Amino acid sequence: MSIPVIDISPFLSSDRAKLSPEALQTVESLYDACTTWGFFQITGHNISPTVVSDLETYTKDFFALPLEEKLALHVRNGGVAWRGYMPFEGERTHGKLDAKEGLYVGPDHPSDHPLTGMPLHGANQFPDTALPLMRHAILSYLDAIVDLGKSLTDAFSLALGLEREKLRDVWLTPEPVSIMRCFRYSVPEVNSSAEANSTNDAKVNEQGIGEHTDFGYLTILKQETEGLQVYSKDHGWVPVPVIKDAFVCNVGDMFDMLTNGRFKSVPHRVVLRPGSPARLSWPFFFDFSWNAPMRRLHLPHPHGELNLPQELTEEEKEEARVRWTGTTFKDVGGEWWQYLAKKVMKVFPDLKLPDFENNVAPSSRFAIAVPTGN
């Protein structure tokens, strides 16, 4: 039992004016996956294998650099742009340290970009001297994934009974806000005396990333090694197998709320096994544009060739309400940037951004508080 694997090539290659029967089937499969698991893997996505293998190569080279060189690119130097190196165990989930280090990257905004200086906007920190080709490799990958995210958005729009370009227009214009985290998970080595004494096992940190849901719209993740698990009401914690060339996609909390609970944002985590090799993964957070209105979608009654979207049962509506009480948000309203601002305020306590009363406490995932303004 595992999350669905969907070949999206029929949708990508279909005539825009009139979808082929296979493309309609792909849209329906995406709908089924988002309304049940909230997670799926995609194949047939047209992203060049070279772009992906370059990402893998340079990420490995980056993590192999001496610690001082990585620390010189510390995420705190990048301020609210939230780009740079996050040291091992620099973050926690629900108070517990995550056994991973990361490099956070995003589209490279020049200093005159209108949103430079705002959360998740600004310049990257790449090791340009040690790895001069890394910058181009990562930025090429990001471009490709943004395109993929836009195509998936069109498919979601159709799956929800809306015009193909509707969600792209309302949610992603002029440009989506995005960030990718390149992660290297590893279990700290246990010394032999601790190994001999099984009562010490509890000291080993097997939490790669603790149970959580993602916060925004859509996550598109590349994983090289197993370890990711998804929670299903019917099946408990289910491992997500590594499929070569596939991307793992999942619905975020805000996407769930904006679809009135049709698409589900579900808990997931990474569990590490002591003695297993380091695990690399690249979650890409594809989010709404800065000013996108956070309004619940008015979804038409089931219509069109696929007779979607389906009505929720009373039980499903109640389940959705329960899911939402567990998320970061109290309610929906305002614009996307206000949610982002709340989220980063915890990490950047002296960031002066207008408050947004409808939202609740921001994330408590970060183990370090990063002062701004040097």
By CB under 6 A, tell whether 181 contacts ligand AKG. Answer: yes
- Residues of span 205-234 touching ligand AKG by CB under 6 A: 209, 214, 221, 223, 228
Contact 98, 91 (CB under 8 A): yes
By CB under 5 A, tell whether 287 contacts Fe ion. Answer: no
Q: Closest separation between CB of residue 88 and ligand AKG, Å?
A: 14
In the bound state with ligand AKG, the residue whose beta carbon lies nearer, of 2 and 25, is 2
Q: Closest separation between CB of residue 209 and ligand AKG, Å?
A: 5
Residue in the block written with tokens 């206000």: 338
State which of residues 98, 101, 154, 214 lies at the interface with Fe ion (CB under 5 A): 214
Q: How far apart are CA 261 and CA 325, in angstroms?
A: 12
In the bound state with Fe ion, the residue whose beta carbon lies nearer, of 98 and 214, is 214
User: Is 79 exposed, middle or buried (CB count within 10 Å of its CB: 0-12, 13-18, 19+)?
Assistant: buried
In the bound state with ligand AKG, the residue whose beta carbon lies nearer, of 26 and 281, is 281
Q: How far apart are CA 337 and CA 41, in angstroms?
A: 28
Question: Residue 264 corresponds to which tokens in the numbers above?
Answer: 């589900």
Convert residues 281-320 into a mask of x (bound to ligand AKG by CB under 6 A) and - (unbound). x-x-------------------------------------
Q: Closest separation between CB of residue 270 and ligand AKG, Å?
A: 5
| Cα separations in angstroms, 217 against 37, 169, 356 | 15, 14, 19
Convert residues 243-272 into a mask of x (bound to ligand AKG by CB under 6 A) and - (unbound). -------------------------x-x--
DSSP secondary structure of 195-250? HH-GGGGGGS--EEEEEE---SSEEEEEESSS-EEEEETTTEEEE----TT-EEEE
By CB under 6 A, tell whether 59 contacts ligand AKG. Answer: no
Contact 309, 302 (CB under 8 A): yes
Query: Which chain residues interact with ligand AKG by CB under 6 A?
Result: 181, 183, 209, 214, 221, 223, 228, 268, 270, 281, 283
